[in-house]
Amino acid sequence: MHRILKNKKFISVLLFIVLLGLFLVMVRNYSYNDVLQTIQKDDIAIIYTNDIHGVSKKNLGFDSLAHFKSSVESKTNNVITVDSGDDVEGTYMVKASDGKFAAKMMNEIGYDYATLGNHDFNLDDNKLQEFIDMSNVQFLACNYNAKKIKPYHIKEINGKKIAFIGVAHPMNTTPEMLYKQVQSSINEVKNNDANFVILLTHLGEEPKQTEDFTVNKLANNISGADVILDGHTHSTIKDTIINNIHICQAGSSLRNFGLITISYDNNINFKIIDEYNDKNEQFTKFIEQSKKEVDPNYDEVMCKTEAEIPYNGEGNMVSCSREDPLGNLLCDSYLEAINADCAITNATGYRSNIPKGNVTKEDMKDLFAFGDDIEKIEVTGADLQDILEHACRKTQREFQDENGYPVGSCAEFMQVANINFRIDTSVPSSVKTDGRNSFVAVTGERRVKDIKVKGEPLNINKIYTLVTSKYLAGGGCGLTMLKDKQVLENKSDIDNILCNFITNKLDGKTSEYVDTKGRIVVN
């Protein structure tokens, strides 16, 4: 009897282990070894990325992408590489080279098709055209007219016609017009006997993107497309189906690679590769050489730290709805550089981590991807109250839903110094904005409560001095209440301001900024 019970217990434990293993297989993404074993020689393989922002030194990286692509090509000759926009802004190398660094990387990888994202349009018209002209990539956009850009391209491969249609980030149009433009291109490629229709879009999915232009709304207002490869919201979506259309997104900054395989008998499989340990060594050397061509001193050490301060703006986008240690550090450095009552910075104004140890020029320039100065202005207590109400209008009690998607994130969320406040999420936001998310008024009860400046309750009639970025001081992020304020003091080189703070004020002891400090409370 005792032996039988022991056997039953052993079988139960073994069964649990097997079931747990099966569960882990179902929920995880795919490593490259898993993927390569599934590719057949007659398969059509489509490698896709989005929002790469010219990243050169983190995540899987261009050198891993080059190795991955060659590995896929060893399994099938039918390989297509595509991108869904935001290539030329967001890191130092692409900004300093006006996008040329990204063009070199994409050319070397051998991208076939791409569309344009909102940050690609940060280049002026001439520089954007130079980027397109330099690229060997065929840029596609059915909603944007420019030299060398086509609305779509049909590629015949392995006896199948695959149509790629570009949908650039919408500019000066309406949703209804966009739907008509996309549907018109779908109808044209269908009339040309396309077997598969794949859209390259830069829209963003709900609930991350809550504006009029979302991939969800596009999918619900068109017909005839098979797959949408989206960008903009930096999401990782292996395969979501809306209106019989498969929607995918591969994160951002080469955190992942996406792969679609179309079999000879027309079965479509979708995978996200989040693990890749191999790199193309020649490509690694090519990256370093290209970086030195942009700036020979890119690896100059600017300061040293004892602890990494992570960037929390990816994935669940915590910094866009909660107090963020890195945001605290930046705001404190502003106050050290310019004496003022308080400081603010927008959560999307910084884009990278501060590493442990040597912090290079490239590290700092990547952190402040858009570059800026800081300015001191005078504001009323009422202005500060409106700033915080506008920044916190989307915040929810939880920052992610049951599926792990971020909720309540807002590009205009503010990190602060010498300011403390509480967000009462039970109070619906009564902030009124215009069509471009710019502040108009607060029309009801305020959800931001218990505001203190330098430990004292906010006085809406008092004049306070505020130090912030030149962008925000000029009304950026919809802060209309800050427009036309007189600048009392300004300092340039925001990256040097931070490095001086880390070196001279903190003596490199950044560990005190690993955790939050209770400046923002959400309940």
Query: In sequence order, what DSSP letters do the residues of 334-403 get, joined into one string?
Result: HHHHS--SEEEEETTS--S-B-SEEEEHHHHHHHTTT---EEEEEEEHHHHHHHHHHHTTT--SSSB-TT
Sign of CA dihedral 480, 486, 488, 493: positive
Mean pLDDT of 227-231: 96
Q: Is the separation of the CB atoms in 384 and 316 below 8 Å? A: no
Check pLDDT > 90 for residue 24: no
Residue 314 has a pLDDT of 73
pLDDT, tens digit, 9 for 90 and up, residues 63-96: 999 999 999 999 999 999 999 999 988 888 888 8
Lowest mean pLDDT of 80-89, 157-166, 235-244, 394-403, name the range: 394-403
pLDDT band at 402 (very low <50, low <70, confident <90, very high): confident
The C-alpha atoms of residue 56 and residue 48 are separated, in whole angstroms, by 17
Check pLDDT > 80 for residue 35: no
Buried b (16+ CB within 10 A) or exposed e, 155-173: beeeeeebbbbbbbbbeee
pLDDT, tens digit, 9 for 90 and up, residues 491-507: 998 989 999 999 999 99
Check pLDDT > 50 for residue 473: yes
Nearest to 127 by CA among 152, 84, 96: 96
Residue 21 has a pLDDT of 40
- Gyration radius of the chain over CA positions: 25
Mean pLDDT of 52-61: 84
Q: DSSP letter for 497, please.
A: H
Check pLDDT > 90 for residue 250: yes
Q: Which residues contact 420 (CB under 8 A, 6 or more apart)?
A: 450, 451, 452, 455, 518, 519, 520
pLDDT, tens digit, 9 for 90 and up, residues 278-324: 999 999 999 999 999 999 999 999 999 999 999 887 777 899 999 99
Check pLDDT > 80 for residue 2: no
- Cis? peptide before 170, omega within 30° of 0: no
pLDDT, tens digit, 9 for 90 and up, residues 97-135: 999 999 999 999 999 999 999 989 988 999 999 999 999
Q: Is 42 exposed, middle or buried (0-12, 13-18, 19+ CB in 10 A)?
A: middle
Tokens 């989307």 map to which residue? Answer: 394
pLDDT band at 12 (very low <50, low <70, confident <90, very high): very low
Residue 33 has a pLDDT of 67
Check pLDDT > 80 for residue 247: yes
Q: Is the separation of the CB atoms in 319 and 313 below 8 Å? A: yes
Q: Structure tokens of 132?
A: 């397109």
